[in-house]
Amino acid sequence: MTIPGRERIAWAATARGIVTMLALAVVYWLVGKAGLVFSIGAFNVSPVWPASGVALAALLMLGVSYWPGIFFGGLVLCLGMGNPPLASLGSALGGTLEPVLGALLLKRWGFSARLERVQDVVALSVGAALGSSLVGASAATVSLVLWGGLEWTDVAKTIQVWWLGDGIGIAVVTPALLLLRQQRPAGFRWEALALGGCTLLGGLMVSQAGLGGDASWYRATFFFFPLAVWAALRFSPRGVAFVILLFTLCSVWSAEVGLGLSSESTVVAEARVRTLLLLQLAITVNATTGLLLAAVSAGRRDATRQVELLATAVRGLNEGVVINEVTPEGPRVVFANEAFRAMVDLEQEALLRRSPLEHMGDMDPETRQRLEAALREATPFRGQVLLKHRAGSRVHSEVQVSPVRDAGGAVTHLVSIHRDVSATQELSARLMAAERVAAVGTLAAGVGHEIQNPLAYLELNLTGATRSLGKGRAGAAEALSHLLDAQEGAERIRLIVEDLRKFSREGSDGRERVDLREVAAPALRMVRHALRDRAKLVEDYSAIPPVLGSGARLGQVLLNLLVNAVQAVPPGQAEQHTVRIRTLTAPDGQAQLEVSDTGRGIAPEVLPHIFEPFFTTKSHEEGTGLGLSICQQIVRAHGGEILVRSEPGQGSVFTILLPAAPPELPRAAEPAHRPVEQAASPARPARRGRILIVDDEPRLAQSMRLLLAPNHDVVTTTRGSEALEWVASGQRFDLVVCDLQMPGTTGMDIYDWLREQAPELARRLVFMSGGAFTPAASAFIRSVPNQVLEKPVRPEVLLATIDAALEPAPAGT
């Protein structure tokens, strides 16, 4: 039973504690009587003293407060040997001081009774077996000199015998008693019996060697070491301790029987005791070595178990783990767990000794540069990267690279932990798209009003043109005026539709140089009508550096901030409130955009939470609580930050800071494809060509035919399959204008077929799209080099695009 802390002193003072002390005194006295068998001289100094090992083990297990039991047991033992009272008292005090000092030293050094660490074996051997036993032997010898009649000339010899005898007792008996309480390892029963039998046999061999003369003792001690190694490797420190104890008992017994120490004269007995002392000293050295080997073996087993546990945990992690060895050529993969191999769909052999960069997909130049620098310089890295799947797809991964250093501080390995965030990325993209649609939906009434005005204007002018044409030549000029006005109304509708498309388009994450003032124009058109009866709109544009980013994403941020500003201002007080949009260059060179209002402001207790997802003070009809969170996410993804300051009743100011784009846009940062907004007219008229128009909307196809017919030969169809049949049958076309998304055979199918069967015509294919509404269509637009015209297409843009595509004249197909 082990009693912790200060409770041991109180426990020792109880009746049960006193009984335990008395029992300890009796045990110490009995073991001491057994040790006196080997005593020499008039003062009964023994070269083998197992009582010291019993005393130290007792104080380590029970607590130092039980020292009175050791003292009384030693005092009774000394008085029983006929020593003077004061000498007996001094010997008892020395015998008590020895285990007390040893126990205190071991406790201070963090000693563990399991003896499974090298420092524990060293502490027991040096601190207790050599250190404290020397103190106890010296104190007891001095008391014999002062009150027992021991001559000063015999002090050194007496201390030596006493010291080594006590040290042997601690080294041999204490480990056995401490480890006796530990749980016996399962299995090894027959092996344990075999070890015990070999130990007894070794002891008998030592006994027989002892009968052959003093020199045979030293050779016989070598029988012990293989047994200690066996016990250390197979049975931990517990096995070594009991082998030591058993072998020592056999040696002591054989010495008593074989040498007859008790029957010799004093001179002969002293010579024989020195022989026994040397034998026990050799066994003690071997025992200490065995315990050290057992501690090292136990530590190795623990380390192996920890490594196996770590390896099992790493293999079973859902996150991908890659361990890279740092070499002069750069990091090389030495391990990849199953989760990472599943992310890239590669076997271990295909990953080993390869650079980790070989498994990375396309990413923005800044992130790739940071990652390459971290791998090259063996420094930490954290960010989002793209991994290449063997099937050709891309896996979004959040990666954290951490260096592993050796004892000297040098980096030897890099550990990369990958977390597949593809699903999260897709969900985030959908949330962003939903928030864009929600922002536009908030302004739906105003957008509808903006469309209704030019639509009514368009209808009235078309009706007027029809009536004017009914008048014959006299109404031609009037009809032309009506048609021009109708064209202006159609252009206004086209711009509104284009703004709606910008704020609801998916997949527009390409990085390019963006002027925030250009992003502001469509956002302001979206909110202008909703703002009319709430506040005056003030536009304050100053010089601002371009930024590297996605215009659609930054437009979403600006639209959301403008919607919030509109909602913060009460209706009906337009002359009293202002919504201001301002651009300028920040003092540190960053692009700065501010959206401010003079509305109700934000309460101080609410302000710290406004960027938290789903936090909102609006009603469910006005907001979802995602807008500002997504805005912050977009701005941070662009390397910037969004700040806010607000006071209740004084309005709010939201500030966006974005780093300026580099002077020369890196080639990899350019968007893979950007739809054509305007094409320049060729310097000279293009040649006449045969053009195939494929669109599932018959009226649109007919309108384009009428537009192109004066300059080109035009063939139209509403089915993609029919167009492919015409090309397959040998009909020649110089150019194909094709809708991207159609029922049945899509424009993407037509392109894939032409690329295989008529590659020259595939290069002369111009797409038209009302919006890439599927991820596949968005990815297709980014991957092909062909022009993409967004509906509604202005006539001059269509004509210029076709003329440019027909120059130079292609070879016949």
552-562 pLDDT, tens digit each: 788 878 888 88
| Single-letter amino acid code for the residue at 431 | L
> Two tokens at 571?
């209706």
Report how far residue 423's alpha carbon sits from residue 397's, in angstroms, rounded to the nearest whole number.
10
Looking at per-residue pLDDT, the higher value among 728 and 154 belongs to 728
Q: Where is average pLDDT lowest: 73-82, 221-230, 370-379, 524-533? A: 221-230
Answer whether residue 44 shows pLDDT above 80: no
Q: How many helices (H) and strands (E) does the chain have?
A: 27, 17
**Segment 392-420, tens digit of pLDDT:** 778 888 888 999 988 888 899 999 888 88
Report how far residue 306's alpha carbon sits from residue 299's, in angstroms, rounded to the nearest whole number.
10
Q: Are the C-beta atoms of 414 and 402 separated by less than 8 Å? A: yes
* % the chain with pLDDT above 90: 14
Q: Are the C-beta atoms of 547 and 592 separated by less than 8 Å? A: no
Helix H segments across 212-265? 214-220, 224-259
Computed over every residue of the chain, the mean pLDDT equals: 78
Q: How confident is the model at residue 232 (pLDDT cuts 50, 70, 90)?
A: low
Q: Are the C-beta atoms of 490 and 458 separated by less than 8 Å? A: yes
**Cβ atoms within 10 Å, residue 424:** 12
Report how far residue 681's alpha carbon sits from residue 679's, in angstroms, rounded to the nearest whole number.
6
String of b and e for 476-509 (b: at least 16 CB within 10 Å)?
A: eeebeebbebbeebbebbbebbebbbbbbbbbbb
Looking at per-residue pLDDT, the higher value among 600 and 451 belongs to 600
**Segment 447-483, tens digit of pLDDT:** 665 566 567 667 767 777 787 787 777 778 777 777 7
Answer whether residue 355 shows pLDDT above 80: yes
Answer whether residue 250 shows pLDDT above 80: no
The per-residue pLDDT for 255 is 58
Q: How confident is the model at residue 624 (pLDDT cuts 50, 70, 90)?
A: low
Average pLDDT over residues 9-17: 66
Q: How confident is the model at residue 487 (pLDDT cuts 50, 70, 90)?
A: confident
Radius of gyration in angstroms for the set of CA atoms belonging to the chain, rounded to a whole number: 47
> Two tokens at 331?
């990091």
Q: Where is average pLDDT lowest: 89-93, 215-219, 448-452? A: 215-219
Report how far residue 422's alpha carbon sits from residue 434's, in angstroms, rounded to the nearest whole number.
18
Half-sphere exposure (CA, 13 Å, Cβ side) for 130? Answer: 10
Q: pTM for the complete prediction?
A: 0.43
Residue 360: in which H helix or E strand, if any? none
**Segment 165-215, tens digit of pLDDT:** 888 888 888 888 888 766 555 555 676 677 777 777 766 666 555 544 454
Answer whether residue 501 shows pLDDT above 70: no
Q: Are the C-beta atoms of 609 and 593 separated by less than 8 Å? A: no
Q: How confident is the model at residue 586 (pLDDT cuts 50, 70, 90)?
A: very high
Handedness of CA 709, 715, 716, 720 (dihedral sign): negative
The per-residue pLDDT for 432 is 61
| Single-letter amino acid code for the residue at 644 | V
- Estimate to the nearest angstrom the gap between the alpha carbon of 425 and the chain centroid: 18
Average pLDDT over residues 138-157: 82
The three-state secondary structure class of 198 is helix
- The DSSP symbol for 123 reads I
Answer whether residue 265 shows pLDDT above 60: no
Please enumerate, as own/partner, the contacts of 796-801 that have beta carbons within 8 Å and a separation of 24 or more. 796/681, 797/676, 797/677, 797/678, 797/679, 798/704, 798/707, 798/708, 799/681, 799/707, 799/708, 799/711, 800/678, 800/679, 800/680, 800/681, 800/682, 801/676, 801/679, 801/766
Residue 292: in which H helix or E strand, if any? helix 266-316
DSSP string, 79-107: HHTT--HHHHHHHHHHHHHHHHHHHHHHH
Report how far residue 37's alpha carbon sits from residue 210's, in angstroms, rounded to the nearest whole number.
18
